[in-house]
Amino acid sequence: MDSLAVTSLAGLWDQLSGTQSDPDVWVVIATLAAALAVVVPHPVWRISRNAVTIAHEGGHGLVALLTGRQLTGIRLHSDTSGLTVSRGKPYGPGMILTAAAGYTAPSLLGLGGAALLSSGRITLLLWLATALLLVMLVMIRNAYGVLTVVLAGGAFVLVSWLAGSQVQAAFAYAVVWFLLLGGVRPPFELQAKRMRGGAGDSDADQLSRLTHVPAGLWLFLFHAVSLCSLLGGGRWLLEG
């Protein structure tokens, strides 16, 4: 490896591992308001929920790989539903963790993002998100899924390479607020569906069949993870 390549790699590492200054308080509050504006109103949520579905299915896929299962494909649909297919034992810890990862993934990703932002690592967060979306793109198996992941990844690439530091910070905070807030709503939606007698094959019901633990307790876990992540991550962002 020549000296130019070494210098370039060193510069890249310094950029990724370095810290950036925290944005002004008004930026943090404004991005919180923006995230609320795309999560709370139902007409807007019907569109923005696609991003939560990316995180949901990505969580299933990532945990499947980490637990030794063979990930065969991910599909994202225009009604904001999704499907992640993996091969392996249809029971056991790997299958349980994979099934439990979907509803918890957006909130936990938001919590991790809040931890990075609270330590000033805005660039690292943007690059990690881009890398995860790129890896996920390889596993997408339908056209709509490709479109949504490409659009999401393209936004991160454009901001990372072309925007100034203040815009990058605002974008990063908006994304993390969105994950923290957006992660809270799907468990409540699932609970409402189950109360109406629907969603009989939901993640909570699959987990109930795998563990013989009532689906309601798994739903409680989804609520607990999302709300605790919002409280903890929100505190880090506001105090950052």
Render pLDDT for 169-216 as a digit per residue (tens, 0 to 9): 999 999 999 999 999 999 999 999 998 888 778 999 999 999 999 999
Whether the Cβ atoms of residue 175 and residue 113 lie closer than 8 Å to each other: yes
Provide the 3-class DSSP secondary structure of residue 83.
strand
Q: How many domains does the chain contain in total?
A: 1
12 in a domain, yes or no?
no
| Phi (first) and psi of residue 80, to 5 degrees | 70, 10
93 in a domain, yes or no?
yes
For residue 235, give its domain range: 23-239
186 in a domain, yes or no?
yes
11 in a domain, yes or no?
no
Q: pLDDT (tens digit, 9 = 90+) per residue, 76-120?
A: 999 999 999 999 999 999 999 999 999 999 999 999 999 999 999
State what percent of residues in the chain have pLDDT above 70: 92
Non-local (6+) Cβ contacts of 108 within 8 A are 59, 183, 225, 229
Q: Give the pLDDT score at 22.
A: 84
Compute the C-alpha angle 137/138/141, nearest 5°. Answer: 80
6 in a domain, yes or no?
no
Whole-model pTM: value is: 0.92
5 in a domain, yes or no?
no
Confidence of residue 137 (pLDDT cuts 50, 70, 90): very high
181 in a domain, yes or no?
yes
